[in-house]
């Protein structure tokens, strides 16, 4: 099932995308009980928005061994966490804005996990029941500020630094998905989630033992080697198997 948020002129709604390209609004709560409305929309007439509105975005650093090696850092013994604010979220098609404070802003393609219901102190075995689905993410990073500050809050938190989308896909297994990143149609990152150091259920459980996860919260699962700088005029595409393409221009 592919679920997203859409803008029809001035109305924003959550809907399900069918195989025929029609979007059916959901009546009810995407995180609870809902049904499909009889009314439908042509996808071509809608603007695709970020598929959820998280209260927080929890990110995992160095979850691929090759990315740790790329920066000369040891493989972590436990998941290394940081956060992005909800104000960083944008959808596919919306521009990433390069801030004047930074001289190097990098793309980082990632699989994102969307939480379905309140999760606190759950086990890895319980974690799948708390996951609504998966989407694409770009963990945009002001690399020079990350190095300068010695911690990651400023570098990760600028507005537009968390593109998500295009849809939340609920009926896939996250353990062996191909993740590719293209800069101006040139392949820059290519990996599989089968190369994770910490798998998705482990991450959800680990985070839930630190903070309560709320419906709609997002976990970014880490990036592979091949990250690089973006410049004005670039187009960055995150493509994840069975999910879709997240495409953002850079301005």
| CATH code 2.30.30.370 region(s) in the chain | 2-49
Tokens of 48: 């695709």
Predicted pLDDT at 75: 82
pLDDT bracket for residue 23 (50, 70, 90): very high
DSSP single-letter state for residue 216: T
Predicted pLDDT at 74: 83
The pTM of the full predicted model, rounded to 2 decimals, is 0.96
pLDDT bracket for residue 11 (50, 70, 90): very high
pLDDT tens for 31-85 read: 999 999 989 999 999 999 999 999 999 999 989 887 777 778 788 899 999 999 9
Question: How is domain 57-249 classified at the architecture level of CATH?
Answer: Alpha-Beta Complex (3.90)
pLDDT tens for 129-165 read: 999 999 999 999 999 999 999 999 999 999 999 999 9
pLDDT tens for 186-239 read: 999 999 999 999 999 999 999 999 999 999 999 999 999 899 999 999 999 999
Predicted pLDDT at 66: 78
Question: How is domain 2-49 classified at the architecture level of CATH?
Answer: Roll (2.30)
Mean residue pLDDT of the chain comes to 96
HSE-CB at 194 with a 13 A cutoff on CA atoms is 6
Predicted pLDDT at 73: 79
Q: Is the peptide bond before 166 cis (omega within 30 degrees of 0)?
A: yes
| CATH code 3.90.850.10 region(s) in the chain | 57-249
HSE-CB at 166 with a 13 A cutoff on CA atoms is 22
Predicted pLDDT at 3: 97
């Amino acid at each position: 099932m592919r679920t997203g948020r859409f803008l029809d002129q001035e109305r924003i709604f959550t809907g399900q995308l069918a195989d025929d390209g029609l979007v059916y609004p959901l009546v009810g709560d995407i995180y609870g009980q809902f049904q499909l409305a009889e009314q439908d929309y042509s996808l071509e007439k809608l603007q695709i928005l970020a598929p959820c509105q998280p209260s927080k975005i929890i990110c995992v650093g160095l979850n691929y061994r090759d990315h740790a090696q790329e920066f000369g850092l040891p493989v972590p013994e436990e998941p290394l966490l940081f956060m992005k604010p909800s104000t960083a979220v944008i959808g596919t098609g919306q521009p990433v804005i390069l801030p004047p404070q930074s001289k190097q802003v990098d793309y980082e393609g990632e699989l994102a996990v969307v939480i379905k219901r309140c999760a606190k102190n759950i086990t890895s075995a319980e974690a799948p029941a708390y996951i609504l689905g998966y989407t694409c993410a770009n963990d945009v990073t002001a690399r020079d500020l990350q190095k300068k500050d010695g911690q990651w809050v400023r570098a990760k938190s600028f507005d537009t630094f968390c593109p998500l989308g295009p849809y939340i896909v609920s009926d896939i297994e996250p353990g062996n998905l191909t993740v590719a990143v293209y800069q101006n149609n040139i392949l820059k990152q290519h990996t599989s989630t089968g190369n994770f150091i910490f798998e998705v259920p482990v991450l959800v459980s680990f985070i839930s033992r630190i903070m309560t996860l709320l419906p709609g919260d997002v976990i970014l699962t880490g990036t592979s080697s091949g990250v690089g700088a973006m410049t004005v005029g670039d187009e960055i595409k995150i493509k994840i198997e069975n999910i879709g393409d997240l495409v953002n221009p850079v301005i």
